[in-house]
């Protein structure tokens, strides 16, 4: 029936008829529960420039189908002019009560209070502890007995000053993900601001197009951050680092997209990406994104790649003592994502509902606040985890700080599993693969973004605390 009505609407747009009638006869194969609407009213709103911006179908109460009975299907069309601009044609689909519900405002307020509490707690605990440590470590005393007693009592983060700036394992990969995460953080902020100012929900696929173009134009940032970081740690194979930075995230997305596109083609779905679109995206990456990333790597390597560690790295690595289970890097990493996830938990519900339940997301102001809150909470939590790790005399803080922040994406993905089974009515391999495939792509980007923010925040913290102690 819907295909027939679509055809009728096409006839109306061509001929502008006011009423029409067609006859339908059911032969066989009828289910007793089938119903049909015999009359419908199409309300069409258009502009003076002959551009339709809204169509609504109102139907009468459906009637049961009877085998062998002829049915007269009629419809009427009401044409009306409207002053609504083409750019505002989606406003009729915006669900204001849903997105501006009190729970949305309450979640923002709750997350904001969490930020105030965390920043205050981090500042109070760390500054008080570090002030006492600085006073004890910098004390000048000629009394040999007092000096020996202080040295014997020393423990914690001060003892690893000769190893804390040792190059991390897999420096090439860490530099690539940190550079990519810095680019994604800037990219998300830029797209949200453009959405607030320019209303990107106006055109179909406008946000995706803007995201791809902005990603290509901001690729210089990933190369700059990655190249500078890799050079500061004494990396030698900078060409490998440069290529990995430019291609890591795009190729991960390409791999997931290729699998999903193959499934869509197999099912004959319109969700399959046309070959021409894939060629255009590849050209944008090859001729804009990749060269800008290479340029950023060269600039970062030469301008910000000079070693500037506050403490000299010792030749022989210090052994790491055994600590309790909750101070191990794996536990610190998994615990680090709980509070950041808690700060975006409610917003994830609205985002998932918009994407998978076909609601138009328009509250980008909320998204901007939540994004800034996520950044602040991630930095605070990662700094606390890094401090605990260094206090346990474990100087392998680089990857731990990254995974501690990136674990937020793990909790988001677990939440997506809950949302799939509880909040959606999806079923079948096709829908399931697309749901978890796109969610995986989103969580990979979120994990890299949060991980880079956590690492950069911890890096500033570590350099700050070791700058004020005697490292000789």
Burial of 296 by CB count in 10 Å (0-12 exposed, 13-18 middle, 19+ buried)?
Answer: buried
The radius of gyration of the chain from alpha carbons, rounded to an integer in Å, stands at 30
Report the candidate in 422, 419, 446, 421 with the shortest Cα–Cα distance to residue 341.
Answer: 446
Q: What is the pLDDT of residue 317?
A: 85
Q: Encoding tokens for residue 339?
A: 């509070």
Side-chain-facing half-sphere of 221: CA atoms under 13 Å: 15
Q: Whole-prediction pTM value?
A: 0.80
Q: What share of the chain is helix, strand, coil (3-state, %, to 5)?
A: 65, 10, 25
pLDDT of 307-343, one tens digit each? 788 888 888 888 888 878 888 889 999 999 998 998 8
Contact 228, 305 (CB under 8 A): yes
Q: Encoding tokens for residue 371?
A: 């994004």
pLDDT of 133-180, one tens digit each? 666 666 654 454 454 455 444 557 888 888 899 999 999 999 999 999
The better pLDDT of the pair 353, 30 is held by 353
Q: How confident is the model at residue 212 (pLDDT cuts 50, 70, 90)?
A: very high
Terminal Cα-to-Cα distance of the chain (whole angstroms): 83
Contact 240, 221 (CB under 8 A): no
Q: How confident is the model at residue 184 (pLDDT cuts 50, 70, 90)?
A: very high
Q: What is the pLDDT of residue 11?
A: 40
CA distance 338 to 340: 6
Q: Residue 428: is its pLDDT beyond 50?
A: yes
């Amino acid at each position: 029936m819907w295909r027939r009505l679509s055809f009728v609407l096409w006839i109306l747009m061509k001929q502008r008829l006011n009423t029409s009638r067609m006859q339908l006869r059911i032969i066989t194969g009828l289910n007793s529960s089938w119903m049909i609407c015999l009359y419908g009213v199409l309300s069409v709103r258009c502009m003076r420039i002959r551009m339709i911006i809204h169509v609504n179908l109102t139907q009468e109460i459906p009637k049961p189908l009877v085998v062998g009975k002829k049915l007269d299907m009629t419809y009427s069309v009401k044409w009306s002019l409207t002053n609504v601009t083409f750019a505002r044609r989606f406003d009729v689909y915006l669900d204001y009560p849903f997105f501006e519900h009190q729970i949305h405002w309450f979640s923002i307020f709750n997350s904001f209070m969490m930020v105030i509490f965390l920043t205050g707690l981090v500042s109070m605990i760390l500054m008080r502890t570090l002030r006492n440590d600085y006073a004890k470590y910098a004390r000048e005393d000629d009394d040999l007995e007092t000096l020996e007693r202080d040295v014997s009592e020393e423990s914690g983060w001060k003892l690893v000053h000769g190893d804390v700036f040792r190059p991390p394992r897999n420096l090439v990969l860490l530099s690539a993900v940190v550079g990519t995460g810095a680019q994604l953080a800037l990219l998300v902020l830029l797209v949200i601001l453009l959405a607030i100012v320019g209303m990107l929900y106006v055109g179909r696929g406008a946000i995706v197009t803007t995201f791809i173009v902005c990603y290509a134009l901001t690729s210089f940032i990933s190369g700059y951050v990655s190249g500078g970081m890799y050079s500061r740690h004494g990396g030698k194979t900078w060409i490998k680092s440069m290529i990995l930075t430019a291609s890591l995230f795009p190729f991960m997305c390409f791999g997931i997209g290729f699998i999903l596109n193959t499934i869509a083609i197999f099912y004959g779905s319109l969700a399959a990406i046309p070959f021409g679109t894939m060629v255009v995206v590849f050209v944008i990456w090859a001729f804009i994104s990749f060269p800008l990333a290479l340029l950023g790597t060269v600039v970062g390597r030469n301008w910000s790649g000079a070693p500037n560690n506050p403490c000299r790295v010792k030749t022989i690595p210090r052994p790491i003592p055994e600590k309790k289970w909750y101070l191990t890097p794996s536990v610190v990493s998994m615990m680090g994502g709980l509070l950041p996830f808690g700060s975006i938990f409610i917003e994830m519900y609205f985002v998932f509902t918009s994407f998978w339940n076909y609601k138009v997301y328009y509250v980008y102001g909320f998204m901007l606040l939540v994004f800034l809150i996520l950044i602040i909470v991630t930095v605070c939590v990662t700094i606390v985890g890094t401090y605990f790790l260094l206090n346990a005399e474990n100087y392998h803080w680089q990857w731990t700080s990254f995974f501690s922040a990136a674990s937020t994406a793990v909790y988001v993905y677990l939440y997506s599993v809950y949302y799939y089974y509880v909040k959606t009515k999806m079923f079948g391999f096709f829908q399931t693969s697309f749901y978890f495939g796109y969610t995986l792509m989103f969580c990979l980007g979120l994990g890299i973004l949060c991980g880079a923010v956590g690492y950069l925040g911890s890096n500033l913290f570590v350099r700050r605390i070791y700058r004020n102690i005697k490292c000789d």
